[in-house]
Structure 1
């Protein structure tokens, strides 16, 4: 896997997830791994990737911002994930991957 860390933010409700993702992307050099997902029962999640320090900093900022506007269910960093994890991570749309 090219990225050194994966960060997961799960909230109850889409609005506070959008606030959290906005804060994560503005606070550190991380990328959103595909679209945000609605899990069910009002649970929504987003996955970011980047180096370990950037993902940790972004996730802390995102969780703080999201908790100010709603409920954060989980915020977790996976440092140096196994290559098999790449198969379960959300993928960016093909048009977006072509631009990179």
Structure 2
């Protein structure tokens, strides 16, 4: 069993200078501790109700986000700039 968090966020580009690059959703500060802190780790969950797997990662300046693949965005009927509902689960070690 793992820890689950739910939040709303906006899909954005990891690097806005690379329009075809990685898409991410920022994880709210109040969810970071529940996910085990600001550490890169694999997570599973849903994006707008569609199942996906991704990795959490640090953002320069103290932020934290989860990467979202093109396939996950397509399954969630979402794109860069869209607001999404996210559920993330971190498996217990």
Is TM-score (shorter-chain normalized) higher than 0.5? no
Larger helix proportion of the pair = 1
Give the TM-score range, shorter chain: 0.3 to 0.5
TM-score, length basis structure 1: 0.31
Larger Rg: 1
Larger strand proportion of the pair = 2
